[in-house]
Amino acid sequence: MTDRPQTGDVFHYPYLWAWQSALGETEGRKDRPCCVALVVPLRSGHHRVYILPITTKEPAGDVVALPVPRTEVHRAGLGSEYSQWIILSEWNREIYEQSYYISDRTGSGSFSRAFTDQLLERLKEQLTAGAIETVGRE
C-alpha cells in the first residue's frame, strides 16, 4: 500500500465509528484492522479512499457485515484465532495523500481477488439500498 492503496488491502487505522462521529468525536479511539473498499482517482491526482472496519466482535442488530473466511484472515495478515467480520453498513472517507490518520502505509496484507469481488458485490447491494453511513475525515 506504499504508492497507492488497492481495494482489498488491509491495514491498521484509527477508524472513527459513525456513532462516535455523531457524538462530536473526531478521532478514532484505537487502531483497528480495516480494509480499503474503494479507491477513487481525483482530478488533483490524489485518491479518495473508502475504508471499512474489521472486527472480531460479532455484529448485532441491523449492522450488515461480511464474515471473513479463515484463509482470508491469514492471507490479510490478521493472524487471529477469532472469527472476523467486515462491517458494510458504514465507512470512513479520506484523501489518501493528505490523510493525518493513515500512518500504516505498508499494510498487513490483502484479501484474495475472489474474496474482494465478493466484498464488492455485497458493498454494491448496500450502496444501491442507500444503506452505508459515511464518516468524512477529509
pLDDT digits over 70-114, tens only?
999 999 999 778 899 999 999 999 999 999 999 888 888 999 999
C-alpha dihedral over 3, 36, 15, 65, to 10 degrees?
-170
Residue 3 forms part of a structural domain? no
Residue 80 forms part of a structural domain? yes
Determine the pLDDT at residue 1.
Answer: 53
Grid coordinates in use for 77?
Answer: 495478515
Residue 20 forms part of a structural domain? yes
pLDDT band at 2 (very low <50, low <70, confident <90, very high): low
Determine the pLDDT at residue 7.
Answer: 96
Determine the pLDDT at residue 138.
Answer: 87
Residue 2 forms part of a structural domain? no
Residue 89 forms part of a structural domain? yes
What is the reported pTM?
0.94
Residue 1 forms part of a structural domain? no
Total count of domains within the chain: 1
Residue 26 forms part of a structural domain? yes
Residue 4 forms part of a structural domain? no
CB-count burial class (<10 Å; 0-12, 13-18, 19+) for 18: middle
